Amino acid sequence: MWWFQQGMCILPVALVLWTAATFIFAYITAVLLRHVDPLVPYISDTGTVAPERCVFGIMLDVSAFLGIATMYIRYKQVQALTIEEESKLHKLNILGLVLGWTSSFGMCIVANFQKTTLFSMHLVGAILTFGVGALYILVQTLVSLYMQPHVHGKSIFWVRLSIGVWTFASIISMFVSSVIMYSSLPGVDVAHKLHWIPGETGYIPHIISTISEWSLALSFISFFLTYIRDFQ
């Protein structure tokens, strides 16, 4: 039996690989068609223009459903491994499921409401995906802490805590740089601006913001990698 055939670990493996493939495919297609600049565009920008936005939307929807399934299995796993007297852990487990599914719903919004089509809805989806998703990581890190030492070792807690710090640092960096970028470009429709010239006003905070977004996405992918061992 191959390692990915053990237990339910195929779910987080599929989630990570499929999501990574979604980002890579959209980026390569958008760059080759010159819809975006090669140097670190926003992830959303790579899925804004047809034809890549069509495939990007479908693939991201699949990622959302894989996320829902993975989070549900995690919920049932924690439920099965804890006793009824551990009320704090049970509440955290339920909270984690709600936050996780909300984040996945946000991903569906991002996939189907492009920033150049309906920016307000796209922004709501991004906040749900990344903001609520970050809270999901925090809750699952606490779950890992409370499940020591009878289920989890200390190492997995520290790994998830490190990823959580990485996630929140990326969010703060993206938020601050985005505020600076928008404030430096009054009257400019930034949502529709897909090409940037090095040296123009707002370029540096734009690059910092896009790098932070890719870093944030990578932190989410890295977090779900930590589920593989648990699901085996």
Note the pLDDT tens digit of each residue in 33-57. Answer: 999 999 899 999 998 888 888 889 9
DSSP string, 105-125: HHHHHHHHS-TTT-HHHHHHH
E-strand ranges in the chain read none
Rounded to whole angstroms, how far apart are CA atoms 44 and 178?
Answer: 14
Interacting residues of 48 by C-beta distance below 8 A, sequence separation 6+: 30, 35, 114, 115, 116, 194
Interacting residues of 27 by C-beta distance below 8 A, sequence separation 6+: 36, 41, 46
3-state secondary structure of 195: coil
Note the pLDDT tens digit of each residue in 201-210. Answer: 889 999 999 9
Backbone angles phi, psi at 188, to 5 degrees: -95, 135
Rounded to whole angstroms, how far apart are CA atoms 116 and 114?
Answer: 5
Calculate the CA 180 to chain-centre distance.
23
Is pLDDT at 5 greater than 60 in this prediction?
no
Question: Would the pTM of this model clear 0.75, i.e. be above it?
Answer: yes
